[in-house]
Structures are given as structure tokens and as C-alpha cells.
Chain A
Amino acid sequence: MIRRRTVRRRGAFFCTVALSMAAALPLLPVPAGAQQSDRAREFGKKVRCMCGGCNDTASTCFHVGGAFSGPCETAKATLKTIDQRLLKGDSEDLILQSFVQQYGPIVYVEPPHSGFGQIAWAMPVVYLVVGSGLVALIISRWRKRPIHAMPVASGVSAEMIARARQRVARETED
């Protein structure tokens, strides 16, 4: 019993240490250069390119603009700003908010989960719920319908329909 408790304590200790180390990882000094740029490019996927000619993110913007450019100049400038601010130690939230202040909510690559943006997220769920309801209603109505009851329009007899069907079959034979 005592041994089991000791093992549990040790486990808890190691878990705490491991979690603390994992949590502290972002605080460790990051080598300058490539790794920061990678982080900037990763974060740039959350910010829309504001050139006005595309729907890409700052990181994935690759439409051609100007001589031998990769991403357009706007996207490059955005990535540079992100890179510099990350190097300064600004948090991603802070950087994102500064872009929102500068450009408005359009800078988000996906609608925000607040305000009017919530409607965008709710819409697909509403479609699915309403659609499923309609399908359920249709199924229930079809289930209740008497077998072979064929409602026909006024002036069209079942015999006429049968004759039309025969003709259809004849004319559409391959």
C-alpha cells in the first residue's frame, strides 16, 4: 500500500516536472533567424493578406504582384511586421488585435466567434438541423402514405399516365 502511494507520488512529481518544462518551453531563448521566421509564417496563417486582390493569408499569399515577388508586397510587409513584433516579445493576441485595429475585422481569416461573425458559424449548423428536420418530415409523410395511392392532376387519368409511361419506355429504349 505504502509502495503504491510512493509510486503515485513519484508519478505525480514527474508529471508536474514534465508539464512545467513543457509550459516553460516557449520562454526559452529562441535562436534568431529561421526559427523566428517560421513562427512568423505560422502566425501569418491567421492574418489575411490585405492587398485587396486575393483571399489568401499573409503566409500563403502567392499571387503574382510585381517583379519576381513571392507573396505580394502587402503580405511581405505584414510578415515582416509580425516577425519584428514576435522578436520584440509581443504576444500573438496583441499582434492580431493591432491588425484588427488597423484594418477592421476583415483581417481575420475566419469569422470571429463573437458579434456578427457568430452568424457565419451558426449558419451551417442551422442548415444541417433544418435539413435533417425536413428529411425526417418527408420520411414520416412517405411512411404514412398509402401504398400505390397515386395522386393525379385533374384531367389526367391513371390510364393516361400508364399509356404515357409505355410510350416513354418505347421511345427511350437504347
Chain B
Amino acid sequence: MATCGLIFIATFSLVYLFFSDSYWVAYVVAHSNRDLATFYKIAALWSGQEGSLLFWSFLLAIYVFSALFAYRNKNGELMPYVGVVLAGVQIFFLTLNNFVASPFKVLATPGANGALEIFTRADGNGLTPLLQYPEMVIHPPNLYSGYTGFTIPFAFALGALLARYPGEKWIHLTRKWTMIAWCFQTAGVLLGAHWAYAVLGWGGYWGWDPVENASLLPWLTGTAFLHSVMMQEKRGMMKVWNVWLVFLTFMLCILGTTLTRSGIVSSVHAFAQSSIGNWFVGFLALILVVCFVAYVKNRDYLKSENQLDAIVSRESSFLFNNLILLVSCVAVLSGTLFPVFSEWLSGSRISVGAPFFNKVNIPIGLLLLFLTGVGPLLAWRKTSADSLKRNFGWPSLFSLAMGVIVFALGFHEFYSLICLVLCVFVATTILMEFYRGARVIRARSGASFASSAVDLTMRNTRRYGGYIVHMGMVLIFVGLAGAAFNKDVQKEMQIGSTIQIGRYNLLLQSFESKPEKNYTAERMVVEVMRDNKPLMMLYPERRFFQTNQESGTMVAIYSTLRDDLYVVYAGQSPETQTPVIHAYLNPLVKWIWLGGAIVVLGTIVTLLPNRRSVLVFSTAEQPAKALPISAGLTPSATLREGHD
């Protein structure tokens, strides 16, 4: 508690130094200025190496305190080990905060008597323009909460192994912590993608940049873990695998921050190159050794208990789900590090850019999407042919029919077509599950279908929350499928001239330069017409920040479920000095953000406790209501275990 309190004081002191414009502190000078909006003075906390590490310690302290407090009087044999692991991780980050990358260094020069004298600058250098965007105030905290949150399941897994604690206890204890960390990680990754989309102005949301990849890696292994733990909970299987998945997820969190901070790989998101990477490499090596030794010494406690009854079963689907997620993770990791390895081994650096990652990951993603639909509807132990027909007959037919229709309508892009067919397939399987369960509840209670579906969800939040998460993933894939049909056009624009993209016509009404408090904006005033009717005005602009002599893009986006009209002011032509407009038409992008929100919502639902069944006594005149709860339920709703 004392550690947590002291880290709180340190963090809020730094925030106070930003708000009080204390330009005698080097970190404040480097990342703020007097005209910086109050909102962004909070974001300045994590905008540099030192502050972001302090912020990491701050979030870690919250997690550690919460975990130790929640189990203060429970699990007496396990918690000392967990506490030691958590303390070990925290000591590492506090060492960095205090001795390697302190954000509290002051500006000082040698005085007349040789002693150092503190001096104050009139103003700071300002925050980098890329970070002066509202999402930058919420994206890093989400991502960091994900990274730091995986420390808790890691500590419990390692603690349980060191304590030779039998059973699935650590999994029960850490399920919610893992879900919380995963939820933050998901939100962080998607907010980062949205930030890249809205700020960088290149028309895309995911460029397979090393830092983006670093955030995706623990998400992939974390997702694999969330699925494979069910094997251990239900069947006592995959114990070794689960422990190593948690270890790997935590190590990938550390590796991610190593890549970001060491300068090993080049990235627009990376912090300045520094020697701090060596500390992370050392820490990573230490974790690996500790985990390996703990495993070797205690592996007898991790043997599986059950056998596999049939290949077509939930168990197999989880194995393949894990395989696909891990292959994707290793492929992204090796692709990210390949330039470094190629330089070491062959002497010339070979770059691995977005086309490579797309070619590798699109088929993997589609396979995963297929398993998202199939896995939850397979029964544990063994799935009968009848069950397969009942669960997958209609979804298969419906999705194939949709595929044929869409193909006939001119949708010929191979991967996008497959993706849409699979999206329809998975969505149908999920909706059928809700429909079957809600129909039974509605028949019994007489409530509306929507409230029956809510009731159904609340009776088994883990299972139906999982379905909601899957539905969110389907929507994300729908959005990704649209990328194959992106269009863009670039043109020098005179006042009054127009440019056409898709069904939109853009008319440049005026072009203005406007000084603001912290920057000067060059802004295009663009009228958007759809089908020759005025629709709205867009104001794409560039901001020039005098303090640090840098500029930033402000993209104007008109977003609908069908497509995004994405308009960028791309500067002035060097020859003619006329403004250049770069317009993109990106189909279905909104579905990605919508899907992300649904994934987060579904994860929150899984964290809610199940609503307990209430016995209802009825009179003889109401025989229907006196039936036991399982009466009339279809086999799919009662006999088969779902996504829980």
C-alpha cells in the first residue's frame, strides 16, 4: 500500500509540474508549453520515455494493490508467491523510474562557485503534434492498462507453479483480471488504429508498423489463453500450455515495450533511441529463466487428466484456435524482427512492410473467423453428425447463398468475398444461439424477444458475453473486408473547382489560413455533394505549431456505415502554390469501430455475475409457468455447453 501511495504521489507530482508550467524540469520542458491545451497536458505525462515509464509503474501499482487487497485474507498458501512475483516486476520498473529514466531531472548549469544551479526556461518545446488529438488522451492509458494488466495472471501462474499449488485455482482467480487486461488491450489497439486513421492522413488504420505489431502480439496470445483456459477448467487439459501462454503473453508485453524504446526497429511511434532497451532485454531474459526453471522443477503438477474422445469436439476446436492465433503471433513477430535478423545474418537489411503482413495474416485471419463460428457450437467430448447438421446446416446454406448473390452483384475480390461469406456464417450461428435460447424464455415468461435475449444473456454472462464478443469480431472483419475496395484521388484545387470520388463531389469553396492559440491552421473549406445535392461541409487542415516547428494533419471524415469519405489537405503544390486535396473513399470502415465497441461491451458482460435462477411457484391454472426451467428447451440450449 505504501509503494502504491508513493507511486501515486510521484505521478501526480509530475502532472502538477505540467499544469504549473514548471519549466525547470527537463521532462516538462521537452513535452509541454504554456499554450498547450489543458486536456493535452495530461497526455504529456506519457508522451516521452521517462513519463511513460512512470505511468506504467502507476498503472501496475493500481493492479498490484487491487489484487493484493482483493485476496488479502484468502489463498494463504498462494498469495505470498504471487506477492513476490508482483513485487519483482514492480521493483524493475521502479528501478528504471529512479535510476535510469527519471522524469524529475531538473535543468541545471554549473554556477560561479562550481555548484549546479537550477534555471528555468521561459517556455517549453511543446507536445508533438501527432499527440495533440483527443484519442491520445485515452489510447495510451488503455494500451498500458492492457500491458500492465497481464502482470496479474502472470504472477498467479508463476506463483501457483512455484507454490506447487494444485488444480485450476489460479485460473479461477485470474479469469476476471485476464478479461480486464484483454479488454483494455483490445480497446487500446483499436483506439490506436482509429488514431492512426484520423491523424496520420494516409487513409488507412493499420500499417503493420513495429509498434502496432508489438501491441498486437500479447493480444493474440492473450486471446489464445482466454480460450484454452476453458479446456483446463472443463476437462483438466492443457495445463502446461496455459501456464506458458500466460508467461508468453507477459513476455510479449515486455518485448513490445522493448521494441518501442530500444530503437531496434524503426517506427514513427517509437520513443527516441536509448540504452534503456538493454534493461528490458535483461529483464526479459531473467523472466524467461525464472519461468523455465519454475516449470522444469514443478512440471509434474501440470499433467493433463483427461483424454480426447473425438476429433470433432470442442477440445479440438480450441487446439486449432490456439494454433492459428499462435502462428499469427509468431509470423507477425518474426516479420517484425526480420529486418534486424537479415542484417545480422546476410549483411543487408531486408524490409518487411504491410504487403507481406497482409499476405500472411489475411488467410490466417479468415481461418480464425471460421473457427469463431464453428468452435462454440461443437460439444465438449464429441459432436454428433445430427448436431453438426442442426447447428451448421442453415448458417452454411445462408452464407453460401449470400456469397452467390454478392458475387453476382459484382463483388469479385477473392479474400473479401470469402471474408463476407464467413462473416454471414458466424453471425448466423451466433444469432441462432440467441434465438433458440430467447425463444424458450419468451415462451415461458411472455416477455418480449429483446428482453428474453437480455434475460438469457444475464443467466449465463460468460457464454453469451462471449457470443457478443464474437459478434463484435465479425463486425470488425466486415470492416476489414472493405479495404479491398478503397479508392483515392489527388488533385490540385482552385477555388470553385471540383473533384469526384465515388458518389461524392467535392467543391473547394475557400482556402484560409487562421492563427490559433497554439498553432496556425491552413484550412480547406470543402462542400460535399452526393448525387449532385449538397450534403455537408468538411474542413481538412494542416496545423503548424510554432513552438516546435512541426506540423500536423487534421483529416476531415464523413463516415457512414457504407463508406467513409476521408479528405486530407495534402499541402500546397510547390510549383503553383495551389492547395492539393487527397480524397479517399474507404468502404465499411465504420464497422470496425462499431465492432470494437461491441467487443468491449461483450467483455464487460462476461465479467458480470450470472443472474441466479429464481423459483417461481404457480397455481394450477398456470401450468406452463410451473414447468422446470429446462422443460421445452432445445438441446442446444440445455444439453450442450456453450461458450463458457
Listed in ascending order, the chain A residues whose CB lies under 8 Å from chain B are 34, 37-38, 41, 48, 52-57, 60-64, 66-70, 104-112, 115-117, 119-121, 123-124, 127-128, 131-132, 134-135, 138-139, 142-154, 156, 160-161, 164-165, 168, 171-172, 174
Contact = CB atoms under 8 A, between A and B. Distances in A.
Contact of B338 (A111, A134, A154): A111
Contact of A106 (B307, B319, B348, B571): B348
Given A132-B323, A143-B308, 9 more contacts: A38-B489, A41-B490, A55-B268, A64-B130, A68-B542, A106-B350, A124-B364, A150-B236, A172-B173
B500 to A, nearest CB: 12
B520 to A, nearest CB: 10
A111 to B, nearest CB: 5
B267 A146 contact: no
A48 B319 contact: no
12 contacts: A54-B267, A64-B130, A67-B544, A68-B572, A106-B339, A109-B353, A120-B342, A142-B306, A143-B311, A151-B303, A164-B167, A168-B169
A110 B352 contact: yes
Contact of B349 (A64, A104, A145, A151): A104
Contacts of B348: 104-106, 116
A56 B208 CA distance: 9
Contact of B207 (A52, A55, A70, A132): A55
A143 to B, nearest CB: 5
Contacts of A53: 266, 268
5 tightest Cβ-Cβ pairs between the two chains A and B? A153-B300, A142-B308, A109-B353, A62-B202, A172-B172
B204 interface: yes
A69 B352 contact: no
B551 A64 contact: yes
Contacts of A48: 351, 353
A70 B200 contact: no
Given A120-B352, A123-B334, A154-B300, A68 B571 contact: yes
B61 to A, nearest CB: 26
B200 A62 contact: yes
A168 B267 CA distance: 46
Given A131-B323, A135-B320, A37 B202 contact: no
A168 B129 contact: no
A166 to B, nearest CB: 10
A116 B202 contact: no
Contacts, number: 198
Interface of chain B, main secondary structure = mixed
B114 interface: no
Given A108-B350, A110-B355, A150 B305 contact: yes
B167 A161 contact: yes
B75 interface: yes
B239 to A, nearest CB: 11
B266 A55 contact: yes
A52 B265 CA distance: 10
A116 B166 contact: no
Given A142-B308, A153-B300, A165 B167 contact: yes
B6 interface: no
B232 to A, nearest CB: 12
Given A55-B267, A70-B570, A168-B172, A106 B207 contact: no
Interface in B164-209: 164, 166-169, 172-173, 200-204, 207-209
A160 B165 CA distance: 11
Interface stretch (B15-23, B325-333, B426-434): B325-333
A86 to B, nearest CB: 16
A120 B319 contact: no
Contacts of B353: 48, 55-57, 109-110
B609 interface: yes
A105 B300 contact: no
A56 B345 CA distance: 24
B553 interface: yes
Contacts of B204: 60
A64 B568 CA distance: 13
Contacts of A160: 166
A70 B267 contact: no
Nearest to A115: B346
A67 to B, nearest CB: 6
Interface in B282-320: 300-301, 303-308, 311, 315-316, 319-320
